Structure 1
Amino acid sequence: MLKPYLLAGLLAGACLSPLALADRAEDASRYYENALTRYERHDDAGAIIQLKNALKEDPRMLPALVLLGQAYARRGEFAAAERVFADAERLGAARASIVTFQAKAYFDQGKYQALLEKFGDQGLPSAQRLEILLLRAQSQMALSQFDAAMRTAQLAEQVSDGAARALALQSRIHLNAGRPQEASASVARALQLAPRDADAWNMQASIAHLSGNLNQAVADYTRALSFQPDHLEARLARAGLLLDLKRDAEAKVDLDYLQKRFAYDPRGAYLRALYYGRRGDGVRGREALIEVTRTLSQLSPEFIANREQLQLLGGLAYYALNEFERAKGYLVQYLNKRPREAGARKVLGAIYLAEKQYDRAIAILEPALKAQPGNADTLSMLGSAHMGKGNHVKASSLFQEAAQAKDSPNVQLGLGLSLIGRGQQDAGFVALQRAYQKSPGQEQTGAPLAITSLKRNEPKKAVAVMEAVLKREPVNLSARNLLGVAKLGAGDRAGARAAYETVIKADPAFHAAQLNLARLDEADRQPARARQRYLGVLKAEPTHVSAMLELARLEEAAGRLNEAIRWLEKARSLQPNDLRPLLALSSLYLRQGNAQQALNTAKEAQAIAPDQPNTLMTLAMAQIAVGNAGLARVSLRRISQLATFDPVWLSRVADQQMRIGDTEAARYTLSKILLADPRTLTALELQIRIDLQTGKLADADKRIAELMARPDARSQAQGLLGELRMQQKRYAEARQAFQIAHASQNSSDSLFNLYRALLATSQINEAAALMASWSKQHPQDRTARHALGEAWLLLKDWPRARAVFAELVRSNPNDARAHNNLANVLLQQRELAAALSHAERARALAPNVPQVNDTLGWVLVQQGQAEKGLRYLREAALRAPDNREIQSHLNAALVKLGKR
């Protein structure tokens, strides 16, 4: 069947021989089907063995990975489950298929903050959304974020069939927050809605337990267990309560059940130790305590750090075993929840600042400030330490206090930079101006002011500042180079060239000016002269990475991709710890459609600098390209934290968050941009996009009208108007708006917007003509050629579609999207052998793309190899559970095999 889909990027990898793997794939499928039967019979151990056998035959078998994670989780092996689900996510399992399992594995390990950061409820079906909301609320409660937990639980209450469970959880939140009356009221409502809900009865029992009504608590725990025998918390609570009531024989029933079904939970083992200790059975009691400590040692430190109950449990268990050193570790962790204290001296604090050990500097300097309150130097140093940590709010407060104690240019400079960092752009700029006014003509304060002026699009101010600096320091070559940058920003190309040439004449080895001059040559359409300048820098300094990066960019623009890669690889080999070649190489691979290579290269960069925004953005883009939006969300949210209030970075982050549907995070990022600069055009565009994505079309319409009134934003406003009309299904108006925007912008984005509108209005011939014209003018634009081929597919013009995709395959044999579409064309032309060859090649290159798996599976079914095809169709359905065509193919294969 036809699948004329548009993909931003596909994985690339080695081509595997399908004949060599055919038998192994069949064996993997048999192991999986047997494991599925075992799992359904609750034979988790047997299922795990068979699933491992399946994965041994086919390590990328996605259904086997997902089922293995479920089996591990049911056995209490939560860390193993997390790892397996992460593998499944990396291989492209649909978010809705695994998100609840993943989040539960995080929760059961006590990774509450990580759960909140990674797993949101946006875009999920109601059943999965309910589970995620409940897990988020429980995580917030575990972190003592009671108000947030209550808000989340109230959202869960609104989800279909979620009211009773959500009310039971609200009851627990009230109870933990010290509101017993509200807790009772909430659980009463829950039981009224669902009289057989185990969570509600467990909560009712907990309230009775805490109020001292112990017999009633036992009865209510028993009711909970009658409805759900494997309710862990109810079973543990009843066992402990029965021991307190000295009803040991009844408690033993629960203890045996816990040992059989929940052997991984150390609380059950500790209760057994108490039981045996009461009976004088020291041997069994000691064995139970050893089991407690053994289980605790297998838990992550993060898990124990978030579970005070386990901290106390570990301390008591190790104490009973006379392992006092370990007991102290647990008990100190349990009792000591205060921030670390340390003594300090200013000199040592200065050393830590120089070493960028900001936490140690703060710990050292704070006692010094207590000893000398109001000391301007200490306040300024503390401000620098907090600014280094990205805590600009705290930093600016300290600098302001220092300025009151003893004002100086350095204090005002620090204040200005910290205010800009916290988003107060105007106030920060004023402080930088004050710093400069206190020492006019000084580069130390003039350069930051000039750079900030350039960022504010005020290049003439930057020129004036740097000319004043050069009047005071005429031989300062760095200042003159910056003057060239400022003049170029002000539109004075001749002045910029003169500044760069003056620097080079004074010092030919000043390579920054050489590179700036070469870029100016490029802008003046003199690429040959620019290339000679870059090569000249390399002749003088063969390891100059920046020159190699510029040459790579120049070669790529000329269409010489192999040369571009050669320069980047050379730079990478010469400077293995320099991020720039890796980031440039990853981006180049991404532009070529080699998403897996892009991701692998981005991961290398991340290993060098895990908290650099550039690294994380490159990683996020590659993660998006391979279909792993979940990990991209994490990367983008981390950039948002690191970027503080930098509007450029925040705009890039919000744009990508919108792209992957992380609307809640995009809205938060946007709020930071607007706080920094409420009038910025990028932020206003993003605000409209969020309105569009969240269905607030009236708000979007109003904001677009406001944007249309700005002369500098009319083409952007037309593009946004087109998107609004597309959502409103007013396709003719959308096409008109996109035509106006494209006429002005003539960009790839505006092109594809118009292409979408033409398809929506069934003007497929016009869409094909549009792409044909663009492709003729931009022969290097493979995305446009793909779109052209897919337009021919829609028109069922098989010969033209075949010609386009065959050329794409010829020019890049690793283009999985082209192979996949060519396979579909050949399938329509009934050339099944050739279709299979291209479908297998596509999957070897892009094993994570659901449509690619579907194509291969369906071609095999059409060839009469339904058993082989089923394995790929199952994987496609797991990756894209809402795709009707894939589900149709899967159902047809199951019917053909007599399995449905």
Structure 2
Amino acid sequence: MIDIRQILGTSMTTWKSFNRAASSALLTVVILAGCGGETPESMLSSAKAFMAKNDNKAALIQLKNALQKNPNLGEARFLMGKALLDGGEPTSADVELRKAKDLQYSADQVIPLLARAQLMLGQPKKVTDELAKVQLTLPESKADLQASMGQAYLMLGKIEASTAAYAASLIDYPDYAPALVGQARIMAAKRDFAGALALLDPVLEKSPGLYDAWQLKGDILYAKGDRQGSIEAYRKAVDVKADFLPAHSSLITRYLEEEKLDDAGKQLEAMKKIAPKHPQTMLLQAQLSYQQKNFKAAEESIQKYLGIVPDSTLGLQLAGAIEYELKSYSMAVTYLTKVLSKTPELGLARRILIASYLRSNQPAKALAILQPVLDKIEKNSNMLALAGEVYIQNGDAEKAGIYFTKAAALDPGNTGKRTSVALSHLAQGETDAAYRELEQISSVDSGINADLALIAAQLKGRKFDQALKSILVLEKKQPQNPLVQSLRDTALLGQGDKAAARKSFEQALVLNPTYFQAAASLANLDLADKKPDDAKKRFEGIIAKDPKNVQALLSLAELRGTTGGKLEEVAELVNKAIAANPAEASPRIVLIGIYLGAKENKKALAAAQDALAVLPDHPEVLDAAGRAQQAAEDFNQALATYGKLATLLPNSSQPYLRMADIQVGAKNKEGAMLNLRKALSLKADSIDAQRGIMMLDLDAGRTSEALAMTRQIQKQRPKEAVGYVLEGDVYALKKSWNEAATAYRNGLKKNGETVLAVKLHAVLEAGGGTGEADKFADSWLKDHAKDLRFRLYLAETANARKDYASSSKQYRLLLEAQPNNPAMLNNLAWAAAQIKDPAAIEYAEKAYKLAPEQPAIMDTLGWLLVAKGDTARGLELLQKAINLAPQNSSIRLNLAKALVKAGKKDEAKKELETLSKLGEGFPAQAEVTKMLQGL
């Protein structure tokens, strides 16, 4: 016999004083294990006795000893698996149960437990794939397996299969509690809480030891809003099974939600005794420390948690929130960017990420994160207020004021939100009172929300003197914040003081040399002063300090594009932004867009493939890639890409609209209609989906259905023009001019938008009533003298029908309102030239002076100079124009004509041959053919 004192490591004195009557089952097992005469069968009997007393630890020791002597003891393997499963060790239990199965131990006993182990391991598909067809004999075993099968199907989201499995379980064993609990779980999933509780309560009355049923009841009561009832149910679960972690976790979570931090702390201590190293324990500790504002402790706990569960979205979100509070904004951005890539709709992560970008002076990045959800924040005052701050930091005071006001309108009666109340007064037109309230809040509040709201309102109201005074107050609170200077610049520019604004922008860059907003504003001033090289240096200065600054790199590329840079040069600059920030989506999307805009579809597709290789699940990258695939006519791949986007954004209609567009192009009208209806089911007032369905209905001759859709739109959008525009368009397509005119007139009665006036004039003219059309135009302009859009429409339509006298008249009237509009001057120059007006070239010269890098303006002036006889300068301008816009066939034709006139027939022939390759796609092909024949 082994000396027990050596095993226990006790001294003789200690051993003598040991109370043998109180010795544990563990001691008994150790003594028995040391006796050489015990057989595996006797150890097995001993283990069963311990299991009957719920002493699984002692039982496991006996079972291990038995298996050391006889590894092929099937019952021992089964009991070992059962004890491990009861002790919450499903991995080890799965191993032992499979060994018992291999040793041909009773399938009626092994298989149900094996199914439970796999469920605990989160492997529901393994249960359905491996065990669904297993045939058992005992009713209780069959019921047990079917109940597990029901849970597995439920975990896989297969509600019908789950319902059938639970029903089968109850056929084999009526009133089988786990199956009834499963049925209650399905009812709860369908939000039939009353039905679920009606099923659950009798089960718990009969079997109060079902701790998972108590947990389910707690979850249901919580979903119903009965927080206290849910806590009591979770307590019951813990009382039944003290080591049941889900109930501990739920209790702590409820306490944290109610900010009962002491109760949460006590419950967490109980959980630590059971599972101190469990990831959920660490996560809850981090959450508790965060709410206690002990951010360093929270950081330590969340790091331990992420060390075990590195991809947890909740863990990454909490880590980002903690780093934000610690003012470690770059780390916060790292964590929160990962979260958004996995779950784009996660609101808190997005909000903190936006705030992190704002606090680290990256307002453009904050705006990029905000924009995808702008249409979903109308009922979220916190997000609306944050949107206001984003826009004001991006220099858009008008939009900032709109969002601040919307935020206030949601909660105007809450006197605790004094800033919101003041803004609500502003929204109601009580401007002076609102300004006074905001000024009072600003004077006593060390925060800057009221200051920003006040400044945004003053800038929006063009009260620049008052805004400058408010900015001084903000500057005293945060003298080192470059936003102060940026706001001052906006006010100074509003006053027209460019010199002072320039000085203020430069001061902002002194405070923060990488402050992009200030550099961009200075670059705009440089461009206005015709100093593109100075503008370029602004962005290069930021890049020198911050070589990875995406905004500066992309702005440099954009500047190169607008100042005559070739496609390859612009793309090279964007590629530098990609190389510096390979995981950043925006430069990759810009590159795809640049190639698509230049109709370089193969290059766009290659850029899209590169982007997808790095960011395969980024929604905006997927959207850009889908457009590139569509442009390259790889329709199947484009559909697959948008299908993936639809999976990532299940509540967005956009992917289905994109797929419908592709299918229309591929002549798959049925598929297009199906996707348009899916889009409409997600967004009932999606005008794009409604318009698409209408077009397909009209194409199929279903005019009544199309008209019904227009009336539905009118009901949904009674104050908008779109429904009436579409109704009139349907009639116009059918050349039912009177009905179209009636629809447009009805729209004008409710909404006096220019688009309706334009449409009405067009159908009146098309119906043969030129006099009536002219009469309407005169009437409209009499009542809407400042409607420049309508006058521009009249000018362009006159131009189109070669009524150059009328178009010249309208352009001159437009120029009275906008004397320095280069596009208007250019159009007037062309129309005036057609009626031999000697002032034509004067208009063209002025347009060129205002916009010297615009190909269309160079084309007009160049051609007029050639016509006047100044061939050398005219050719120079036309050549420069075609270099900037090589795809513009009209400019190329004018260049060819000028070359012919200059006697350069070989060069002209080369240009005309380029045009001839376009075939019938170029409307002036007949003229090209005639010119070639004449050379």
TM over 0.5: no
Bigger relative contact order, structure 1 or 2, given CA contacts below 8 A and separation 6+? 1
- TM tier, shorter chain? 0.3 to 0.5
Structure (1 or 2) with the larger CA radius of gyration: 2
